[in-house]
Amino acid sequence: MRAKADVAQATLSHDDKKRIVDKLLSLQAEQHDLTRTLLELIVAHPVQQETLELEPTGDTSTTPVERLVAIWNDRTSRPIPSCREISKYRRQKLTKRLGERVLDQWTEIIDRIQASAFCRGDNERGWVADIDWLIGSPDPAVRVLEGKYDDRKTKGSRADLVNAVPVCPHTPPCDAPGRWSCVMKSRREALEEPL
């Protein structure tokens, strides 16, 4: 039996071998496209989302990827950037992330990102969350759901310092209201002091 296979292989020309390889690559590409389409269909109609079809959302997006991007754009605002384009990279990442969670969970995640001062840039580096950060790996969604980026009211936090009403340190207190009059008085006093 092995001898027949060796003979058959030896009788194939270089062009025949090339046609067979091309056909195999073509079939592999078709299989990849079918797998991606099947995954999008599965994501679009999981058991957990059957109730969503009963409630009209007014969303005219056709694919789950487009629906997720529409949710991102509808529920976030500046300084969080909107998603203007779905590149090939983004489509792949969005499809992968949609296989991990239903749209209701993504809506909750996006709402929590919008509500987070940290994700909106109130942090030491001025970093702002964007859709690429969210879909780059499964970890950001997990951290958002676990509350890592939720706003916290802690004594002495940066938000408390920024929003605090200034108190005049001078005796007697400055008579003009507002922080700037007190600052100006401090500067005048510093200039008037002899060296």
- Identify whether 178 is part of a domain: yes
pLDDT in tens, 120-135: 988 889 999 999 999 9
Please check whether residue 49 lies inside any domain of the structure.
no
Does residue 13 lie within any of the structural domains?
yes
Residue 78 maps to a domain? yes
Residue 144: count of CB within 10 angstroms of its CB? 21
For 40-98, what is each residue's pLDDT tens digit? 767 666 544 333 333 445 555 478 899 999 999 999 989 999 999 989 999 999 999 99
For residues 15 and 73, membership in a common domain is answered with no
Residue type, 58: G
Phi, psi of 160 (to 5 degrees): -65, -40
Q: Is residue 73 part of a domain?
A: yes
Whole-model pTM? 0.49
Q: Within a domain: residue 154?
A: no
Residue 117 resides in a domain: yes
Q: Which domain holds residue 6?
A: 2-42
- Tell whether 151 is covered by a domain: no
